[in-house]
Chains A and B, each alone.
Chain A
């Protein structure tokens, strides 16, 4: 029997058979998420407007996110041992834990909520408000991604986990928010201690002790997780997790290479990022197993577009690279493309491609070294230098450094990155204050003037250089 959500699920790549089989779970999850028939028109028009539903792979990617949301909401009801990890995180330990037992579900809940309640339902505000009411108040410069995690738990839409893996090796706000949640709900948390305090100019060198220490912390994380969850994390599980991650990152690398090699942007950055962020949202068997296949399908569909010369932005549009795409509001990235900019890839996605080339997590110390070499986990200079390299590698006309005023590691770079990249590469940088998780104060309309001007500026520059 058809129901109010069927059409939306079909748009998200669900097969009818799948919908019928999953009705009970879908309805139970939607009820907890306060998603009803009244939300369907908005969600359908929101995804039709902002997502490239002509591509089968895009529908399936939306579907995979939605399935993760349902699994997340129902994890405890279904007897899973639930593990939350943070964003940004060092990929690896969670994949090993997930591979160690089929009864464990490892996920970054705030990222899943962004890519579903934001990207699909445009209904993230009540969750953000619940975060504000429950320990992370507005106006305090606190991270909105953490507000989403806190709000999700406060509203009872995401369960209290059995374990949280947390750290401050990139930003201390995630670990502080987890501390707050631990105090409130009492669930165990494992802290991987670390530091990204580097001297300016030190990158790519680092003190060996840093890698040793971080490596030990990652090993400690696994050992404690094993103890708390009552599972054995074997060498085979580590290898299986690593091999799955490698497959997912490999598929993504092919997609990124495809975007690099063409002048006609064949895929919106919105869709590239719903694929790319699978690597941040969940390490479930679905994401690691189906994810690479869907990305491979996307690759095939994109190749067809390239063959036909089909692009999603105006031909000859100036190319810009953005630090990271909006997690929850696709209309912002669409606005940037509609302003005449071609945005083939984000800086963070190109940086992730560095890990794609190596073997992910087997041993803590090796993984720590790889993360330090990537740049962002090293320190400000590492992140800036890598951004400059990425801009040159992709031969872009401009860089949009979108910084969150409430994100200490990123906000610190707002002036430094612009000065450094412009001086080193001659590529103009727009320093754009926005919040990639919460668009209440930074809507597409509010950002449009700056982005349109930057696009005009790059067009004029391109024209005067005869490009």
Chain B
């Protein structure tokens, strides 16, 4: 049975007809073609699918698309300002905060949410915050450095 949903994604109004069981991440990737949001574990463990729903970071693999009806969603594609990378994205590039890049969109979205709550997080606070984002290249060291620098850049 299909249900109609509408929401705002990266500032644009979008809508579609989905089955009730369609996950938000499937709607984002398959209906909207925004494949920057990744699916890792499908069970809320890995954080590759983290997006912002109504301003806070959440895992889009454990939210149904219908539950996001009317919501304001931001994905990794919505961070940059045209060709100019978001300061957190730029910091990940500068500090080589990635190896294979699979976890990166979730890491960046999670980091941006952290800085909103805590504009100048310590290394320990960053490591604690990353509890829900797994990197299997074991690249946390540079990710932490990138987030620290990204936070600084976001403070301006």
Say if A and B assemble together.
no
